[in-house]
C-alpha cells in the first residue's frame, strides 16, 4: 500500500509541476476565466464519458450532488479564480509560497473537523519544506512591497488557499460516506467549470477560442493530465494518508516547475535556491516516511449508500 501511495504522490507532483509550463500556452487572447471553464468542463466530459462506457453508476441522490457541487465549487472553481486574481497582483513565486501554506491549513482543519491528531513529523517536514521554498523564491520575497495592491494579492492568495483546503475536507467527507472518487470528480469538475463560465458571463467576457496548436494541446493536457489524472491521484491520496501529508505535494510541485523552467526557459539556479530545494526534499522525506502508516479514510457521517465503500484508488 505504501508503494502505491508513493506512486500516487509522485504522479500528483510531476503532473502538477508540469502544468505551470502548460498554462503559459493558455495565456493569450482567451480570458483566463474562460480557459479555466473550458478545462474543467472538458475534464468533466472525459470522466463522465469514461464512466458511461465502463458502466459505472452515474445516478446519485440530490444530497450527493449537493456535496459533489460543494467540492467542485471549492476545488475546481472558486480557489482557481482567487489564485488567478492574486497572480495578477503578485509574482508567481510568492503565489507558490503562499499556496504551500495549505499544509498547515489542512492540518488545522482535519484536526477541527475530523479530530485527526497533529503528527509532529508532518509539522516538522512542512516547516522545512516551506523554509526551502522560501529560499528558492527569496529574490521575489525581497522585492515584495507593503502597498495596498500587494497586500490585496496576499489576501486573495491566502483566501484561495483556504478555500482549496476546505475543498480537501469536503473530499475527505465525500470519500468517508462512500462516494466514488472518479464520479465525484467528474460531477465536481462539471460544477466548478460551470461556476467559472457563469463568472465569465457576469464579467461580460467573450467565449472565444484560440485555434493554435499550442493552446489546443495545452488545454487537452491540462484537462486530461492536470485535472483528470492528477486530481484523481491527489484526492485518492487524501483519503489514504490524510490531508496533512497529502498536501505536501503543494511544496514539491513548484520545484518540478522550476526544473522545467531550467530546461525550457533558461532559469538560473542560485546557491540559495539549491539549498532550498534540498531542504524541501528533506522535509518531504520526513513528512511522508516518518509519519504514521497509511490508513483509509473513515466515515465522517452516516453513509448515504449502505454497503458501498470508498474506492481504494482513482481509476
pLDDT digits (tens, 9 = 90+) for 7-44: 888 899 889 888 877 888 887 889 989 999 999 999 99
User: At what angle are helices 79-87 and 32-53 packed, to 10 degrees?
Assistant: 150
- pLDDT of 250 > 60? The answer is yes
- Region 284-294: what's the mean pLDDT? 59
What does the radius of gyration of the chain's CA atoms come to, in whole angstroms? 19
**Cα 165–133–222 angle (5° rounding)?**
55
Whether pLDDT at 182 is above 80? yes
| Mean of pLDDT values over 193-197 | 94
User: Could you tell me the pLDDT band of residue 295, with boundaries at 50, 70 and 90?
Assistant: very low
| Per-residue pLDDT tens digits for 101-160 | 888 888 889 889 988 887 787 788 778 877 887 787 777 677 666 677 778 888 898 999
Q: Report the pLDDT value the prediction gives residue 85, as an integer from 0 to 100.
A: 83
> What is the maximal distance between C-alpha atoms in the chain?
56
Q: Which residue has the higher pLDDT, 4 or 115?
A: 115
Q: How confident is the model at residue 290 (pLDDT cuts 50, 70, 90)?
A: low
Predicted confidence at residue 248, as pLDDT, reads 73
Q: What is the pLDDT of residue 315?
A: 33
Give the confidence band of 305 by pLDDT, cuts at 50, 70, 90: very low
Nearest alpha carbon to residue 161 among 105, 92, 241 = 105
Q: Which ranges in 177-270 belong to alpha helices (H)?
A: 181-202, 213-221, 230-241, 243-246, 249-264
> Could you tell me which residue, 1 or 124, shows the higher pLDDT?
124
Average per-residue pLDDT for the chain: 82
Residues 51-80: b if buried by 16+ CB within 10 A, e if exposed: beeeeeeeebeeebbebbbbbbbbbbbbbb
Q: So what's the pLDDT on residue 247?
A: 75
Cell 472538458 -> residue: 42
Q: Residue 204: exposed, middle, or buried by beta-carbon count in 10 A (0-12, 13-18, 19+)?
A: exposed
Residue identified by cell 510541485 is: 253
- Give me the pLDDT at residue 288, please: 63
CA 148 to chain CA centroid, nearest Å: 28
Residue 252 reports pLDDT greater than 60? yes
Please report which confidence band the pLDDT of residue 93 belongs to, taking 50, 70 and 90 as the band edges. low
Q: What percent of the chain has pLDDT over 70?
A: 86
Domain residue ranges of the chain, discontinuous segments joined by +: 2-289
pLDDT score recorded for residue 84: 79
User: Positive or negative, the Cα torsion across 294, 13, 114, 74?
Assistant: negative
Amino acid at each position: 500500500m505504501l508503494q502505491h501511495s508513493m506512486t500516487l504522490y509522485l504522479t500528483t507532483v510531476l503532473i502538477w509541476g508540469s502544468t505551470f509550463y502548460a498554462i503559459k500556452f493558455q495565456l493569450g487572447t482567451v480570458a483566463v476565466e474562460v480557459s479555466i471553464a473550458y478545462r474543467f468542463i472538458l475534464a468533466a466530459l472525459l470522466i463522465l464519458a469514461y464512466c458511461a462506457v465502463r458502466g459505472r453508476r452515474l445516478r446519485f441522490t440530490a444530497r450527493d450532488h449537493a456535496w459533489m457541487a460543494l467540492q467542485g465549487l471549492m476545488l475546481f472553481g472558486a480557489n482557481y479564480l482567487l489564485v488567478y486574481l492574486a497572480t495578477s497582483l503578485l509574482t508567481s513565486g510568492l503565489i507558490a509560497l503562499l499556496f504551500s501554506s495549505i499544509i498547515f491549513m489542512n492540518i488545522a482543519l482535519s484536526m477541527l473537523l475530523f479530530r485527526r491528531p497533529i503528527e509532529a513529523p508532518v509539522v516538522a517536514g512542512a516547516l522545512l519544506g516551506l523554509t526551502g521554498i522560501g529560499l528558492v523564491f527569496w529574490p521575489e520575497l525581497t522585492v515584495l512591497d507593503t502597498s495596498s495592491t500587494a497586500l490585496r494579492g496576499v489576501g486573495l492568495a491566502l483566501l484561495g488557499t483556504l478555500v482549496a483546503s476546505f475543498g480537501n475536507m469536503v473530499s475527505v467527507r465525500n470519500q468517508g460516506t462512500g462516494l466514488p472518487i472518479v464520479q465525484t470528480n467528474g460531477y465536481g469538475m462539471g460544477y466548478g467549470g460551470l461556476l467559472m463560465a457563469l463568472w465569465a458571463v457576469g464579467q461580460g467576457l467573450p467565449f472565444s477560442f484560440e485555434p493554435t496548436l499550442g493552446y489546443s494541446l495545452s488545454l487537452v493536457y491540462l484537462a486530461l493530465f492536470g485535472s483528470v489524472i492528477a486530481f484523481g491521484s491527489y484526492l485518492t491520496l487524501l483519503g489514504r494518508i490524510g490531508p496533512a501529508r497529502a498536501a505536501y505535494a503543494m511544496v514539491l510541485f513548484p520545484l518540478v516547475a522550476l526544473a522545467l523552467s531550467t530546461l525550457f526557459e533558461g532559469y538560473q539556479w542560485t546557491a540559495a535556491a539549491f539549498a532550498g530545494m534540498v531542504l524541501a526534499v528533506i522535509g518531504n522525506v520526513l513528512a511522508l516516511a516518518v509519519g504514521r502508516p497509511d490508513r483509509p479514510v473513515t466515515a465522517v457521517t452516516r453513509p448515504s449508500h449502505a454497503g458501498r465503500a470508498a474506492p481504494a484508488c482513482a481509476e
